[in-house]
Amino acid sequence: MEPRSISFAEFQSSHFLIGIGLALCFTQVLSTTNETDKLSLLAFKAGITEDPLGVLSSWNDSVGFCQWRGVMCGNRHPRVTALDLNSQKLSGTVSPCIGNLSFLRELQLWNNSFDHEIPQQITRLSRLRILELDHNSLVGEIPENMTAFSNLAILVLEYNQLIGKIPTQFGSLSNLQILSLYSNNLIGSMPSSIGNLSSLERLYLSRNNLDGSIPPALGHLLKLQYFYVSANRLSGSIPTGVLNLSSLTSFDIAVNQIRGSLPADISLTLPNLQFFSIATNLFEGQVPPSISNCTKLEVLQLSTNKLSGKMPSLENLHELQQFTNFENQLGYGKPEDLNFVCSLTNATKLERLSIGDNSFGGVLPKCVANLSFTLTGFVVDGNLLYGEIPRQIENLVNLEVLSLSSNKFSGVLPSNLGNLQYLSGLQLSDNNLGGTIPSSLGNLTKLTALELGGNNFQNQIPSELFNCPFLNLIDLSSNNLSGTIPPKIMGISSLTILLDLSHNRLTGVLPMEVGILRFLTLLDISENMLGGEIPNNIGDCVALLSLRMGGNSFHGSIPQSMRSLRGIEELDLSRNNFSGEIPLFLEAFRSLKVLNLSYNNFKGMLPHGGVFENATIISVIGNAKLCGGSPKFQLPKCVSSSSKSREVHVVRLSAFVICGLLGSALVLAILYISWWKRRVQEPVSNSVAVLCPNVSYGTLLKATNGFSSTNLVGVGSFGSVYKGVLEDNRTIIAVKVLHLVGRGALKSFIVECEVLKSIRHRNLLKILTVCSGVDYQGNDFKAIVYDFMDNGSLEQWLHQKATPSHGNGPPKKVNFIQRINIAIDVASALDYLHHQCHIPIIHCDIKPSNILLDAQMVAHVGDFGLAKFLLGSSLDTIANQMSSVGLRGTIGYAPPDAWQNMQWDARSQEKATSTVMVSSY
């Protein structure tokens, strides 16, 4: 259809009429006609900027204005009596011309997007009975000249952005039945003139910024049924007259600062109450027993006050649907405190029962199972309840929220909770619950939050939780859970809020499936026994705000993929075995508030730009190889490799010069003392020590606290040594774990086992047992278990830099007599190996770090990973042995001929030992 063309004359005529209409809007029209109504409507239309539904498309000359959509006229005269354009998505302003619709009785523009101010001209509408402008974006103050609204019965301006005070002229609206100013930005006090509205039935003033007290004049509103003034800043007390308004059915003063106590005769003064809320105020005293006689009550909200004492029976509240009474001081911590709960079994429509954060004591009564089957929320957290969770709770088949947190519940978690098919929130944290987390929780397919932290749950995390597809929060922290993290748990893609597995005894690695948690904001796996490297796909968790991995045994470097976590605010990798350099991309993490990299093995220069300029949010303490960075970190300056090489060369040259002067005489003295001691020493017992039976990987894992870095004693070429305690007999042991990925490590393990199983001497390190198998990831695992040497190695006594700090005590020192005894012990051990064994054994790596000292400072030679048997004098045999484990010995201690000729014999060993002895003086 082609658009109709209009002549210039028609164009001029139409705009002339609109112009007249607009002019009339701002002048008092003494004599109005139906043409005035038409012009006023067109002026109203001109103020509309958006009409997506085309509601005003019919407002043209094709039909009379009384047939325009939303316009209603009187039967006797063609004058506009009602304008109803609610919920039409209109935008624009309310034209002042609306005030010229002098016959208008109803103006309903609610649920649109009108903005700007309410025009003052609207007060001309003396016949108006209904004015509903709610749910718009109107601003400014409420027009003050309201005296003309003598016939107004309904005034609804709620859900706008009105400011200023409530006009006192409202008191002249004697026919007003409903006044709603709900959810605006009104200030000041409630005018006492409202008490003159003798016809008022509903008063809604909630969610403003009103202050002062409730006017006593409101006690004159004898027809008032709904009184809502919640979420303001009201203070004082409730006037007695208001509490005597027997017509009241709904009374809401929540979220204010009102004081006082509940009247003892509340059922007599307010007999028709259906909704009663005083929540979040400053009420004190007891809940009056007469409240049970308010038999029409459907909602009773007493929460967040200072109510105390015994909670009375509510046996007569048969219509009660919601009872919230949390955050008070009710109860005495006694068994009878929850007797009133049994009285609620009469409330057959009860949907929500919330009595948390009080002082209720005793056990959870079994009558809970007899509460209404309509109950959807049961909250008793933060009390003093104890005993077991009754199995009968499964009778509450429509339960959606069950919160028993922060009590003293014990026993096991009933497996039949898995039958509550509508449960979305299960909150049982901070109790004394134990046993295994039942796998039946996987049946709760609507579960969104699972909070079991702070209990004593044991064994593994049930992988059946993967069957809960809507979980967005899991808290299993601070329990005794063990085993590995089920990969399926990391595969719950709905997790968005929290996954907290911290403070347990979990082992293994962080599963690769962690990359599925793309929308997770907080991941906490700290304080466990986890190891391995950080999976590369953790960079897929782009929504992470907090990542806590501290207190584990993770190793490797920080993966480059983590550069994608640019919004992270907290990153804690402390107390692990991470190594390598701290990546520069962390400088660009501008959202970081906490970065904890302390107590790892990071090395190299600390980044100094970006977030590293703020030392208050970053911790790198306990990384001995870090240097540089901001002076605030107090790290040593970085030294170039050439300068460091020259410094080491000078130190070594000086040491050799000094040692050379004493070497010859001291070696002769030691050999003489060794010969003398051999003559007088008692024969060594040939009895074989009883070895422990072979131990499993799991036993050693527990003994060393998951091979924790805090148990790490030292690291060598082929393995790491951990201190441990056997669980069965509490024996303190040293566990040498072989680095099987290193070249020669496996052969070192075989050689050491072959040597130590055939020798016994008081100055040789005693082997207790070995472990040869696989770890929990299926990797080869080999370890040797020795007696633990309380005083560490000779290296630690001679070079204090290599000695871990032990409090603030004095540094370790070994006196001259002790050094002589150590030398004798070592010489005695070597004499045994070279001359008293059935097949002579050459250690090949005598150095201070391989000389261990027990509690009595007796020396024991250890680390036989490079040792060899002297099987005759065949050079071929010796050469074959050498090639099996590579070049033997440590530079600085092995004699030159052993390296040049690639062979060791007793004489080479004695030269090496002389070097060690010289270095100890």
20: domain CATH number is: 3.80.10.10
Helix (H, G, I), strand (E, B) or coil at 452: coil
- The contacts found for 614-617 with CB under 8 angstroms, 24 or more apart, are 617/592, 617/593
pLDDT over 70 (residue 779): yes
Residue 421, in any domain of the structure: no
Residue 23, in any domain of the structure: yes
Reported as a pLDDT band with limits 50, 70 and 90, residue 729 is: confident
**Mind listing the pLDDT tens digit for each residue in 532-586?**
999 999 999 999 999 999 999 999 999 999 999 999 999 999 999 999 999 999 9
Tokens linked to 5 = 């063309």
The single-letter code of the amino acid at 664 is: S
Residues 220 and 239 in one domain: yes
Reported as a pLDDT band with limits 50, 70 and 90, residue 769 is: confident
Residue 465, in any domain of the structure: no
Rounded to an integer, what is the distance from CA 229 to the centroid of its chain?
Answer: 36
* Closest to 382 (Cα-Cα) out of 411, 361, 410: 361
Name which residue leads in pLDDT, 792 or 383: 383
Specify whether the CB–CB gap between 285 and 261 falls below 8 A.
yes
Domain CATH code at residue 750: 3.30.200.20
* Closest to 234 (Cα-Cα) out of 205, 261, 196: 205
SS3 string, 747-774, reads HHHHHHHHHHCCCCCCCECCEEEEEEEE
Residues 114 and 240 in one domain: yes
Tokens linked to 52 = 């997506």
The range of the structural domain enclosing residue 520 comes to: 508-638
Q: Rounding to the nearest 10 degrees, give the CA dihedral for residues 754, 756, 760, 765.
A: 170
pLDDT over 90 (residue 33): no
Residues 74 and 113 in one domain: yes
Residue 459, in any domain of the structure: no
Residues 212 and 353 in one domain: no
Q: What is the mean pLDDT of residues 241-251?
A: 96
Last residue of a domain, one of 788, 806, 837: 788
pLDDT over 90 (residue 85): yes
Residue 657, in any domain of the structure: no
Residues 330 and 279 in one domain: yes
Catalytic residue selected from 134, 524, 825, 845? 845
Other Cβ atoms closer than 10 A to 890: 15
Domain CATH code at residue 808: 1.10.510.10
Name which residue leads in pLDDT, 306 or 811: 306
Residue 155, in any domain of the structure: yes
Rg (C-alpha) for the chain, rounded Å, is 43
Residues 265 and 235 in one domain: no
Identify the residue whose tokens are 């003293």: 408
Using a 10 angstrom Cβ sphere, with 0-12 exposed, 13-18 middle and 19 or more buried, the burial of residue 651 is: exposed
Residues 81 and 219 in one domain: yes
Reported as a pLDDT band with limits 50, 70 and 90, residue 629 is: confident
Q: What is the mean pLDDT of residues 590-614?
A: 93
Using a 10 angstrom Cβ sphere, with 0-12 exposed, 13-18 middle and 19 or more buried, the burial of residue 643 is: exposed
Q: How far, CA to CA in Å, does 258 sit from each of 252, 278, 739? A: 12, 9, 71
Residue 564, in any domain of the structure: yes
Last residue of a domain, one of 252, 275, 302: 252
pLDDT over 70 (residue 780): yes
Q: What is the mean pLDDT of residues 96-122?
A: 94
Q: Annotated catalytic, 854?
A: no
pLDDT over 70 (residue 871): no
* Closest to 481 (Cα-Cα) out of 509, 442, 452, 510: 452
Name which residue leads in pLDDT, 703 or 900: 703
* Torsion 127-25-184-236 (CA) sign: negative
Q: What are phi and psi of 911, to 5 degrees?
A: -65, -45
Last residue of a domain, one of 210, 231, 252: 252
Reported as a pLDDT band with limits 50, 70 and 90, residue 876 is: very low
**CA atoms of 13 and 10, how far apart (whole Å):** 5
**CA atoms of 850 and 276, how far apart (whole Å):** 80
In the predicted model, what is the mean pLDDT of the chain?
Answer: 84
Residues 156 and 266 in one domain: no
Using a 10 angstrom Cβ sphere, with 0-12 exposed, 13-18 middle and 19 or more buried, the burial of residue 797 is: buried
Reported as a pLDDT band with limits 50, 70 and 90, residue 811 is: low
Residue 487, in any domain of the structure: no
Cβ contacts of residue 350 below 8 Å, gap of 6+? 320, 321, 322, 323, 344, 371, 372, 374, 375
SS3 string, 342-384, reads HHHHHCCCCCEEECCCCCCEEECCHHHHHCCCCCCEEECCCCE
Residues 809 and 920 in one domain: yes
pLDDT of 288: 96
For residue 853, list its beta bridge partners: 859
Helix (H, G, I), strand (E, B) or coil at 909: helix
- The contacts found for 768-775 with CB under 8 angstroms, 24 or more apart, are 768/691, 768/692, 768/733, 769/691, 769/692, 769/693, 769/694, 769/695, 770/694, 771/694, 771/695, 771/696, 771/697, 771/699, 771/700, 772/694, 773/696, 773/697, 774/697, 775/697
- Angle between helix 641-680 and helix 816-831 axes, rounded to 10 deg: 70
For the chain, give the longest Cα–Cα distance.
Answer: 140
For residue 238, list its beta bridge partners: none
Tokens linked to 83 = 């304008």
pLDDT over 50 (residue 22): no
SS3 string, 286-333, reads CCCHHHHHCCCCCEEECCCCEEEECCCCCCCCCCCCEEECCCCEECCC
Residues 897 and 778 in one domain: no
**CA atoms of 667 and 682, how far apart (whole Å):** 24
Residues 208 and 316 in one domain: no
**CA atoms of 3 and 648, how far apart (whole Å):** 96
Residues 197 and 244 in one domain: yes
Other Cβ atoms closer than 10 A to 782: 22
Count of domains observed in the chain: 5
Reported as a pLDDT band with limits 50, 70 and 90, residue 683 is: very low
Q: What are phi and psi of 733, to 5 degrees?
A: -130, 165
The counts of H helices and E strands in the chain are 14, 54
